[in-house]
Amino acid sequence: MKRVLYIENSGEIIGGGQISLLLLMENLDRDAFSPWCICPAPGGMSAEVRKLGIPVEICDMPALGLQTLPAVLLALWLLWRRARKIAPDLIHANGSRCMFYAGLAGWLAGVPVVWHVRIVNSDGWWDRVLAHLAQRIVVISQAVNQRFIFAQQQGKTRLVHNGVDVERFIGADGRAARRALQYGDEPLVGMVAQLVPWKRHADFIYAMGEVAKERPQTRFLIIGSDPHPQGGYGRSLQTLVDELGLSEWVHFVGFHADVAAIMAMLDIVVLTSDNEPFGRVLIEAMAAGKPVVATKGGGVPEIVVDNETGLLVPIGQRSALAAAVIFFLDHAERGREMGSAGRHRAEQCFSIATHARAIEAIYRELGGVNI
């Protein structure tokens, strides 16, 4: 059995990256691999890892900069000591900041390092530095893969789509969630996403305002929290809803941990992101059998087959977004057909078992056929 040390960017669960890592560790073949984890701080992420029965170490990983250099060097030394104690056969870094620490610790210990990249936007020359420290780079979509054309030439990149626990979403009951949020049988259209600017929630608000004029019985839910509330993005969205006079129709629901129940509650799921790296929420919606409307950019077309498992619209085209939602509201049977096709695609292409086996194959590449 080989020991894999996972190094995570955050002590909290702040998005799909942490959820994906938890699912991977949970579904790892424990007869072949023994997972350990290091987080930069105690919190929700480290607590969930412990619930899986996986040992967790806490080791600070300060942001890089000249002013933080002494703290960075101390943290690197402490991380290397922790890694020596754990004695991993392989290190898996879930993000860029922790890849710096993981890459140097792996180099010092003579242990191969996998860098899991979930962001489309390049960090320029820093990408080349981190890629040099990695033996393999896992990218979650072709869109992310374009960030590493230079590493493709070195044979380092491997495309592995995120996986979802599909079974969790099949047959989930959304009635309790509707009651808890005080909704009845009215149609519910939801966007499930962190409140961050590149998700383009304003497009959703404006477009759903158009829908509300045509289908006033429908309600539109923004489900997710603002990871940086001091920045005011979430408050600005609420102000926009108030200014447009949409507070009766557009509701902010906040973060909900039971995503399966939320998906079961919704009739249509919308994602308006600008160049979404992947879009695991779309797989979750498809696994729940829901029709989806999403912007055509980033990794989304690798998930949603247009006019087969959902409808794709150009980024920023609010009227097209509204028209797609109205189509599903008016053609429920077609929506059910696309939802069913989406569920089949999620089962065939994006299950967590498929994802875990693909990652394990990369581990075997690095460690030899006997792992």
For residues 218 and 106, membership in a common domain is answered with: no
pLDDT at 367: 79
Condensed to tens digits (0 to 9), the pLDDT of residues 15-67 reads 888 999 999 999 999 999 999 999 999 999 999 999 999 999 999 999 888 88
**Mean pLDDT, rounded, for 232-258:** 95
**Mean pLDDT, rounded, for 357-371:** 80
pLDDT band for 187, please (50, 70, 90 cuts).
Answer: very high
Q: Chain-wide mean pLDDT for the chain?
A: 94
For residues 195 and 307, membership in a common domain is answered with: yes
Residue 16, token pair as written in the block: 């799909």
Please say if the pLDDT value at position 96 is more than 60: yes
pLDDT band for 328, please (50, 70, 90 cuts).
Answer: very high
Condensed to tens digits (0 to 9), the pLDDT of residues 131-143 reads 999 999 999 999 9
From 58, 47, 53, select the one nearest 30 (Cα to Cα): 53
For residues 25 and 129, membership in a common domain is answered with: yes
For residues 216 and 200, membership in a common domain is answered with: yes
pLDDT band for 229, please (50, 70, 90 cuts).
Answer: confident
How far apart, in whole angstroms, are the C-alpha atoms of residue 130 and residue 19? 23
- CA max distance for the chain: 64
How far apart, in whole angstroms, are the C-alpha atoms of residue 81 and residue 60? 13
Q: Give me the sheet containing 157-159, strands edge to edge.
A: 56-58, 33-39, 2-8, 90-94, 113-117, 136-139, 157-159
For residues 224 and 106, membership in a common domain is answered with: no
**Mean pLDDT, rounded, for 168-178:** 91
3: β partners: 34
How far apart, in whole angstroms, are the C-alpha atoms of residue 1 and residue 123? 36
**CB of 49 closer than 8 Å to CB of 24:** no
**Mean pLDDT, rounded, for 99-110:** 94
Please say if the pLDDT value at position 172 is more than 50: yes
Estimate the crossing angle of helix 318-330 against helix 201-214, to 10 degrees.
50
6: β partners: 37, 92
Q: pTM for the complete prediction?
A: 0.91
In sequence order, the 6+-apart residues with CB closer than 8 A to the CB of 239 are: none
Q: Locate all alpha helices (DSSP H) within the chain, ordered by sequence.
A: 16-27, 44-51, 69-86, 96-109, 125-133, 142-145, 149-152, 166-169, 175-180, 201-214, 233-243, 259-265, 280-287, 318-330, 332-349, 352-367
For residues 44 and 11, membership in a common domain is answered with: yes
A 10 A CB-CB count for 94 gives: 26
Find the CATH number of the domain harbouring 143: 3.40.50.2000
Estimate the crossing angle of helix 332-349 against helix 280-287, to 10 degrees.
110
Residue 355, token pair as written in the block: 């994802």
From 66, 59, 56, 125, select the one nearest 96 (Cα to Cα): 125
For residues 220 and 190, membership in a common domain is answered with: yes
How far apart, in whole angstroms, are the C-alpha atoms of residue 226 and residue 335? 30
pLDDT at 31: 94
For residues 261 and 146, membership in a common domain is answered with: no
For residues 138 and 268, membership in a common domain is answered with: no
For residues 44 and 182, membership in a common domain is answered with: no
**Mean pLDDT, rounded, for 273-300:** 95
pLDDT band for 369, please (50, 70, 90 cuts).
Answer: very low
How far apart, in whole angstroms, are the C-alpha atoms of residue 35 and residue 75? 22
The total domain count for the chain is 2
What is the domain extent for residue 359?
A: 2-163+351-367
Please say if the pLDDT value at position 368 is more than 60: no
For residues 28 and 93, membership in a common domain is answered with: yes
How far apart, in whole angstroms, are the C-alpha atoms of residue 284 and residue 346? 8
φ, ψ of residue 195 in degrees (nearest 5): -85, 80
For residues 175 and 102, membership in a common domain is answered with: no
